[in-house]
Chains A and B, each alone.
Chain A
Amino acid sequence: KATSRNTFLLYRTVMEDVINEVRELFLDEGVDEQVLMELKTLWENKLMQSKAVEGFPTDEQKALQAQQQQAQQAQQTQSQTQPQQVLLPSAQQATPQQVIVQDPKIFQHMSAPGMSTAAALALPAGVAPIQQFITPQGQLLQLVRAANGAQYIIQPQQQMLQVLPQMQPGAVQAPLIQQVLTPLQGGLSQQTGVIIQPQQIVLTGNKVQQNTQAAAMAVQPEQGAAHVQPQPQPQAQAPQQQPQQTQASQQPPMVLQVDGAGDTSSEEEEEEDEYDEDEDEDKEKDGGEDGQVEEEPLNSGDDVSDEEDQELFDTENVVVCQYDKIHRSKNKWKFHLKDGIMNLNGRDYVFSKAIGDAEW
């Protein structure tokens, strides 16, 4: 879509600009250029993970191949192997076991435990690799797109030793979670929810909800397995994660694992919406200040039902912009907005002008 392309280009431009402009600042503070590169990589990866924008083209083919090799090596164990990716040189990478997170539709018929990494990477026909990247934890992710437009992320299950011990709870996870739902924007009211965590991707089989996105949120990693939030935080390091990983791999349900734990999609997992909400909360903040945006609507006395709609959507649809004019006549409002960035159904869009009507 033209819009996606525009957004992607815009982001690219901004990122390049920022990196170039701060180079001198880094030098002034005696910070190595490598750190600047790391910032760039982290930034790009997070953006990719959010799946808010398509196509950060890099050597996806190469990456995919590399992954395939890794995947084949790595079927079972959680042992770590030498780093395969150049992106995060300091991170060791565990041999990844590949997990595919995908559109629930597809997932449903790929639920067989036997799904091997190889199979996963083989990918249904028509899948094209888009992007491959490494999460801050050093995990390898491969973004691919199927012919039907659904996007998948292939991610190794194992958590690798990470260079960056601390991850803010909501930091990487939330965007991942939200964005995985993106492929569902076609209106799937699927049940399968997905949670992606830095450590692993968790699929919950039948997490209902009308809204897939909501489902994702609700998706809870089965306890042992993925945990979404709790896990990364306490752990600073890989060692801790290892055991979890082990658990995870043993946990049948969520994780669509290569190592044979069939995904039983028995998800009755805990609802871990927290991070999710955090992400949403952030988005609710307005532009100028980091806001204290209260949740109480101005006219809370009205008959309007409270916003439980939040549960419907994984991502909160937000438009952050400036305005030329906002006009009201009786109960008809007219908005003349400009220079905005929108996140709708998990995707980012930008506009120079937006004109809207709403009736109150």
Chain B
Amino acid sequence: MAYQLYRNTTLGNSLQESLDELIQTQQITPQLALQVLLQFDKAINTALANRVRNRVNFRGSLNTYRFCDNVWTFVLNDVEFREVTDLVKVDKVKIVPNCFCSLVGHTTECTLAVWPCLQMFLNSLTLISSDL
């Protein structure tokens, strides 16, 4: 099952919105829409893995990090993203790195995969306690 995390991107959202409109006008069923989204998941995951070959570097200050519902979210400030010659600066960016346990509906099957998340969580606990 491909990660659904890319649904909340411009490409994914625009697809979801389009599907919603077609559902509203009853041109397609919600089930069909879901099938389309699943196909999207596959396509985007494959494309990213196979068709993209660039590297980006970034640097900034870490504002917050949190781990809720098996999801990590990092908020960075004053970040510079650099790719070869291109530079993009933002004041604030949210990074949501997916981990295996984020597969929707399959958390019970991801015990092993949860480990990286736990690891990070433990690290963060250590960090907190060391600051106290």
User: Do B10 and A175 have beta carbons less than 8 Å apart?
Assistant: yes
Report which of A15, A39, A330, A359 forms a contact with B61, defined as CB distance below 8 A.
A359
Interface of B is mostly: mixed
Report chain A residues within 8 Å CB of B17.
42, 46, 168, 171-172
Interface residues as binary, B32-70 with A (CB distance below 8 Å gives 1, 0 otherwise): 100110011011111111011111111111111111111
Q: Which residues of chain A have C-beta atoms less than 8 A from B14's C-beta?
A: 43, 46-47, 50, 175
A18 within 8 A of B: yes
Check A344/B88 contact, CB under 8 A, given A29-B32, A292-B68: yes
Determine the chain A residues whose CB is within 8 A of the CB of B95 once the complex forms. 318-319, 321, 335, 337
Write the nearest CB–CB distance from A15 to chain B, whole angstroms: 8
- Residues of chain B within 8 A of A166, CB atoms compared: 21, 24-25
Task: Name the residue of chain A whose CB is nearest to the CB of B27.
Answer: A35
B52 and A352 contact, CB distance less than 8 A: yes
- On chain A, the residues within 8 Å of B46 by CB distance are 17
- A297-B75, A360-B61 given as contacts; is B83 within 8 A of A14 (CB)? no
Indicate whether A271 reaches chain B with its CB closer than 8 angstroms.
Answer: no
Contact A25 B36 (CB under 8 A): yes
Q: How far is the CB of B99 from chain A (nearest CB, A)?
A: 7
Interface residue A230 (Cβ < 8 Å from any Cβ of B): no
Interface flag for A288 (CB, 8 Å): yes
- Given A13-B47, A339-B45, A287 contacting B4 (CB threshold 8 A): yes
Considering residues B9, B28, B39, B69, which has the most beta carbons from chain A within 10 angstroms of its beta carbon? B9
Q: Which of B36, B84, B92, B124 contacts A317 (CB 8 A)?
A: B92
Would you call A317 and B123 a contact (CB within 8 A)?
A: no
The distance in angstroms between the C-alpha atoms of A301 and B78, with both chains bound, is 21
From A221-229, A240-248, A277-285, the one touching the partner chain is: A277-285
Distance in Å from the Cβ of A356 to the closest Cβ of chain B?
4
Residues of chain B lying within 8 A (CB to CB) of residue A285? 8, 96
Is there an interface contact between A345 and B101, defined as CB atoms closer than 8 Å?
Answer: no
Are A326's CB and B68's CB within 8 A? no
Other-chain contact of B21, A42, A345, A360 (Cβ < 8 Å): A42
Q: Which residues of A contact B29 (CB under 8 A)?
A: 29
- Residue of B7, B64, B98 near A322 (CB, 8 A) is B98
Determine the chain B residues whose CB is within 8 A of the CB of A326 once the complex forms: 72, 97, 120
The B17-31 residues at the A interface (CB cut-off 8 A) are 17-22, 24-25, 27-29, 31
B22 is contacted by which of A42, A297, A317 (Cβ under 8 Å)?
A42
Q: How far is the CA of A289 from the CA of B96 in the complex (A)?
A: 11
The answer, yes or no, to whether A291 is at the interface (CB within 8 Å) is yes
The minimal Cβ–Cβ distance linking B78 to chain A, given in whole angstroms, is 10
Q: Give chain B residues whose Cβ lies under 8 Å from the Cβ of A22.
A: 35-36, 39
Residue B128 at the chain A interface, CB threshold 8 Å: yes
Contact of A313 among B25, B70, B90 (CB under 8 A): B90
* Least CB separation from B103: chain A residue: A288
Q: Given the complex of chains A and B, what is the CA–CA distance between A326 and B53 in angstroms?
A: 20
Q: Tell me if A39 and B19 are in contact (CB < 8 A).
A: yes
A298 close to B71 (CB less than 8 A): no
A320 to B52, Cβ gap below 8 A? Answer: no
Chain A residues near B101 (CB-CB < 8 A): 288
* 24 A-B interface contacts by CB (under 8 A): A10-B52, A29-B29, A35-B22, A47-B10, A136-B21, A164-B24, A166-B21, A168-B21, A175-B10, A279-B13, A283-B94, A285-B8, A287-B4, A289-B71, A312-B92, A317-B79, A318-B96, A328-B123, A339-B52, A340-B48, A345-B88, A352-B49, A354-B57, A360-B65
